Structure 1
Amino acid sequence: MKRILVIDDEAGIRESLAGILADEGFAPLTAANGEAGLALLETEQVDLVLLDIWMPGADGMEVLARLKELQPRLPVIMISGHGTIETAVQATRLGAYDFIEKPLSYDKVILAINNALRLCRLEEENRILRGQAKQHSLTGESAPMRHLRRQIERVAPTDAWVLIRGEHGTGKELVAQTIHRLSPAAHRPMVELNCAAIPEELIESELFGHEKGSFTGAATSRRGKFDLADGGLLFLDEIGDMSLKTQAKILRILQEQRFERVGGGRTIKVNVRVLAATNKNLEEEIEQGNFRADLFYRLNVVPVFVPPLRERREDISLLVADFLQEFGRKGLGAKEFSPAALAVLEEYSWPGNVRELRNFIERTLIMSPEERIEADLVRNLLAAGPAAEPVPTRLGEFRRLSYKDAKRLFEREYLRMCLEDNSGNISQTAEQIGLERSHLHKKMKTLEME
């Protein structure tokens, strides 16, 4: 049910519009002035706003400008009894979808609302499709990959919860995105939360949201991931890294599908399908007392296992072809691997799986001036590791890249060396380079590092 907020200082108009909206199947909310309307938007999820222009205190134009700063994609329809062309033009420039004059026509109001909601839905679907188009498909024709695709095709159209398991770098997030794309909620965004990257003291706020002033730094109210995912999918990545304290709280939410924001007293009910992913052996974590058995059984409705790359070596040549196209579009040139070079790649064990392969292909394209990459170069780079060439020698290669790609490559090499100096210890590395541990973890994920 779409929620429509009516902001108007005339009680009769508020009551009349609320009745009309309820008759049409909408859920009406009302506010007597702009300040009350803005305050309500901080705590309630609203799909559209009907906003009067002439009101005491903050007028409609001022409220529209502030509203667009808070929620730029929220459609707003202006209503006024003293409308002019100049006023309508100004409202449109500020981001209003439509302008309706009083006395209000029942049919015109409903038509404008339906058109605005339809346009908003189409824009959201386009954003989702554009995002999905940037992602790789599940590449591979090996038996394990065919089995994985069959599992996804069966579970995606249902409402079943899915626990995606697999080693680092196998593509668990891509599996979640594919399930979302094939699900009935594909027209809604999939809300993601990396459980390992959020500090324990903030994860409740991330999951459930918070009210203004509920803790130091909470300058405004904020909706949490569960609230944002209402009616859609919530992807909990690295669920095995969640603390026992948070596990207990999230279990109750998963069972009841209702919660309260941090610092709030109002119960919010949602309908959320959960996808979770982990690289840990949760059965062992349960035995060691690190993971709740009841949460495991709640999440593990349909288990999906993503195979490591060493178990589907025949897919490596297809993956390499995909990566060559991707990096070619980024300006690294049209290059190819010789059959002998591909054979060397297929013999390697790839402990970092597809993510390691992708990073290796990018590094090889940057390091090699040749258009055809031969087996000897691949062997040398694999044997020497990521730091096969000293940085000064590679600086000339950076000039062929865009600033964004060069910066990304430098950051990844810098963090790799720092992590190597600290034997892979993220906490020690974060302290050494002056970053919060959670920020370093996020940066590593962004750079697709182990």
Structure 2
Amino acid sequence: MTLPTVLIADDDRSIRTVLTQALGRSGYQVRSTGNAATLWRWVEDGEGDLVITDVVMPDENGLDLIPRIKKVRPDLRVVVMSAQSTLITAVKATQRGAFEYLPKPFDLRELLAVVGRALAAPTEPIISVPEAADSEERLPLIGRSPSMQEIYRTIARLTTADLTVMINGESGTGKELVARALHDYGKRRSGPFVAINMAAIPRELIESELFGHERGAFTGATNRSQGRFEQANGGTLFLDEIGDMPPEAQTRLLRVLQEGEFTSVGGRQPIKANVRIIAATHRDLRNAIRQGQFREDLFYRLNVVPIRLPPLRERVEDIPLLARHFLERAREDGLPAKSLDQGAIDRLRQHSWPGNVRELENLMRRLAALCPDEVITADAIAPELSEPASAPGQASVAAAAGNGPETLSSAVERHIKDFLAAHNDGLGVTDVYDKIIAEVERPLIRLTLAATRGNQIKAASMLGLNRNTLRKKIRDLEIPVVRGLM
């Protein structure tokens, strides 16, 4: 039996070497190159069963190559990998026909799983997706952390779908930004985006706000009024804080989702509901269901595609990028130009951010307006933060009481207990120490390399390791790396 052949295009020799070795051990034939021209020649000659390509190469952008590949060989799957790990990159890769997008640095096991799925997936018709505007100034979401990368990939996968989405996240995490991104890069982008906050409307007016009302429907209804469903016709209706919707409105919304039509308050003529629903909440709706505060059948109608937005304290590696972005936005709005020194960045990382991204944005704008110095220091930031800093990894009083975020040591302890329990309390298991250390080292090194954009000298310094030691660990743990911005 002929082994599947994987074609790799990446101008980083170390990545080509790691992927060639890993794929070879997994039973694949591999051909690799550092440029797009050679890859294109192989594709034209009918070689390869799967393509893995970087985005930025010396002679051509890998994203521009995908439509050409799809034109001459529609069945050839393409996996895109890139250090330009933004939402725009993920969406473009999907819109142009990529089977999957992987941000660098990635977990090698994940890539091997993607390769297996790509080679086993049945052939599907090519769906042409019009591309949205891609100006970097319009990036709706900022962050390169693994949790944000997964959100980017989810949004990208939904560009060709019209599914209902439920966004869950604490206040200030950016739920409406995600809803806007789903609309702006989705099939309904040419239609209106209409948002309504359930918590901001009096209960007795919610049905009228959603479905509209006829003249004379109630006291004060002197004219017919369109509701948000009609206003959003052909586009997206964003129902924010859906957990605060009263029971009677929940019942009417369920009927709309089931039947695809509604009647206005006081009306008799059914109106077709041609909208995509995106809902959001900061509440635990499953708990609300148990307490009889939210309809279970409505929850399952809304929760077709769940997206969880992490609080800022769970993605501290994104804080410097976000802070600089907000300072630049403040400058564009006419406030003085400001920058952050390393001490200020370290201080920002130590804060727990109860107000999440919104709190960080407000702080940056305040400092841009009021800080007298061009360079913002830790001393300038400290008085603005309402709580004392705690070193990363330390357990706070709230965490110790079981009310705060889980610490690293408690997470590792729980993982080891689960590991031993799964192996009959460790009986007959060998090399437990090496196995657990490898599991901790792999994400630690991978995320540090991500934070330094693949700069191994900086990563070794951050980790407190000799550069040769880091290189050996990268090789032993099979961690693909990136050099420079690529």
Q: With structure 1 as the length reference, what TM-score do the two structures score?
A: 0.55
CA drift of 1:363 comes to 1.7
Conserved? CA contact 1:161–1:301, under 8 Å: yes
Q: Are 2:355 and 1:352 equivalent residues in the alignment?
A: yes
Q: Percent identity?
A: 50
- Partner AA of 1:163 in structure 2: M
User: Residue by residue, what CA displacement relative to the aligned partner does 1:141-197 show, whole Å, maximum 9, x if unpaired?
Assistant: 111111110011112320111001111100110000000011111011111111111
2:173 is aligned to 170
2:241 is aligned to 238
| Alignment partner of 2:211 out of 197, 208, 212 | 208
Aligned pairs for 1:44-83 (under 5 A) are none
CA drift of 1:249 comes to 1.5
Conserved? CA contact 1:257–1:272, under 8 Å: no
CA drift of 1:271 comes to 2.1
2:422 is aligned to none
2:225 is aligned to 222
CA drift of 1:133 comes to 9.4
Hey, what's the Cα distance between the residues in 2 that align with 1:268 and 1:383?
50
User: Residue by residue, what CA displacement relative to the aligned partner does 1:3-27 show, whole Å, maximum 9, x if unpaired?
Assistant: xxxxxxxxxxxxxxxxxxxxxxxxx
Unaligned segments of structure 2, at least 5 residues? 1-131, 389-486
Q: Are 2:258 and 1:255 equivalent residues in the alignment?
A: yes
- Partner AA of 2:192 in structure 1: P
| Alignment partner of 2:159 out of 156, 162, 168 | 156
2:344 is aligned to 341
CA drift of 1:343 comes to 0.8
Hey, what's the Cα distance between the residues in 1 that align with 2:274 and 2:303?
18
CA drift of 1:367 comes to 2.5
Hey, what's the Cα distance between the residues in 1 that align with 2:137 and 2:145?
23
User: Residue by residue, what CA displacement relative to the aligned partner does 1:330-384 show, whole Å, maximum 9, x if unpaired?
Assistant: 2220111111101100111101100011111112222211111111111122147
Hey, what's the Cα distance between the residues in 2 that align with 1:225 and 1:383?
39
- Partner AA of 1:137 in structure 2: P
Q: Residues 318 and 244 from structure 1, CA distance in 2 versus in 1: closer, same or farther, beyond 3 angstroms?
A: same
SS in 1 for 2:218: coil
| Alignment partner of 2:314 out of 311, 314, 326 | 311
Hey, what's the Cα distance between the residues in 2 that align with 1:384 and 1:225?
41
Q: Residues 135 and 291 from structure 1, CA distance in 2 versus in 1: closer, same or farther, beyond 3 angstroms?
A: farther
Hey, what's the Cα distance between the residues in 1 that align with 2:137 and 2:191?
17
Q: Residues 384 and 269 from structure 1, CA distance in 2 versus in 1: closer, same or farther, beyond 3 angstroms?
A: closer
| Alignment partner of 1:192 out of 192, 195, 207 | 195
Q: Are 2:294 and 1:325 equivalent residues in the alignment?
A: no
1:296 is aligned to 299
User: Residue by residue, what CA displacement relative to the aligned partner does 1:23-64 show, whole Å, maximum 9, x if unpaired?
Assistant: xxxxxxxxxxxxxxxxxxxxxxxxxxxxxxxxxxxxxxxxxx
Unaligned segments of structure 1, at least 5 residues? 1-127, 386-450
Q: Residues 172 and 383 from structure 1, CA distance in 2 versus in 1: closer, same or farther, beyond 3 angstroms?
A: closer
1:267 is aligned to 270
Conserved? CA contact 2:194–2:231, under 8 Å: yes
2:148 is aligned to 145
User: Residue by residue, what CA displacement relative to the aligned partner does 1:416-440 show, whole Å, maximum 9, x if unpaired?
Assistant: xxxxxxxxxxxxxxxxxxxxxxxxx
Hey, what's the Cα distance between the residues in 1 that align with 2:205 and 2:139?
32
Conserved? CA contact 1:136–1:174, under 8 Å: no
RMSD over equivalenced CA pairs, Å: 2.1
- Partner AA of 1:308 in structure 2: P
Conserved? CA contact 2:215–2:223, under 8 Å: yes
Hey, what's the Cα distance between the residues in 2 that align with 1:304 and 1:351?
20
SS in 2 for 1:304: strand
SS in 1 for 2:337: coil
Hey, what's the Cα distance between the residues in 1 that align with 2:312 and 2:367?
19
Hey, what's the Cα distance between the residues in 2 that align with 1:252 and 1:169?
31
SS in 2 for 1:164: strand
Hey, what's the Cα distance between the residues in 2 that align with 1:318 and 1:135?
15
Hey, what's the Cα distance between the residues in 1 that align with 2:234 and 2:376?
49
Conserved? CA contact 1:210–1:221, under 8 Å: yes
Hey, what's the Cα distance between the residues in 2 that align with 1:156 and 1:349?
34
Hey, what's the Cα distance between the residues in 2 that align with 1:295 and 1:325?
42
Conserved? CA contact 2:169–2:309, under 8 Å: yes
User: Residue by residue, what CA displacement relative to the aligned partner does 1:85-140 show, whole Å, maximum 9, x if unpaired?
Assistant: xxxxxxxxxxxxxxxxxxxxxxxxxxxxxxxxxxxxxxxxxxx989x998652101
Hey, what's the Cα distance between the residues in 1 that align with 2:174 and 2:288?
22
User: Residue by residue, what CA displacement relative to the aligned partner does 1:260-317 show, whole Å, maximum 9, x if unpaired?
Assistant: 1111111112222110000001111111111111110010001011111111111111
Hey, what's the Cα distance between the residues in 1 that align with 2:138 and 2:270?
36
User: Residue by residue, what CA displacement relative to the aligned partner does 1:388-440 show, whole Å, maximum 9, x if unpaired?
Assistant: xxxxxxxxxxxxxxxxxxxxxxxxxxxxxxxxxxxxxxxxxxxxxxxxxxxxx
Hey, what's the Cα distance between the residues in 2 that align with 1:349 and 1:313?
9
Aligned pairs for 1:366-405 (under 5 A) are 366-383=369-386
Runs of 4+ in 1 over 6 A off after TM superposition: 132-135
CA drift of 1:328 comes to 0.8
Hey, what's the Cα distance between the residues in 1 that align with 2:295 and 2:157?
28
Hey, what's the Cα distance between the residues in 2 that align with 1:255 and 1:347?
47
Q: Residues 218 and 227 from structure 1, CA distance in 2 versus in 1: closer, same or farther, beyond 3 angstroms?
A: same
Q: Are 2:366 and 1:363 equivalent residues in the alignment?
A: yes
Hey, what's the Cα distance between the residues in 1 that align with 2:320 and 2:177?
19
CA drift of 1:219 comes to 2.0
- Structure with higher RCO (Cα < 8 A, 6+ apart): 2
1:102 is aligned to none
Q: With structure 2 as the length reference, what TM-score do the two structures score?
A: 0.51
CA drift of 1:243 comes to 0.9
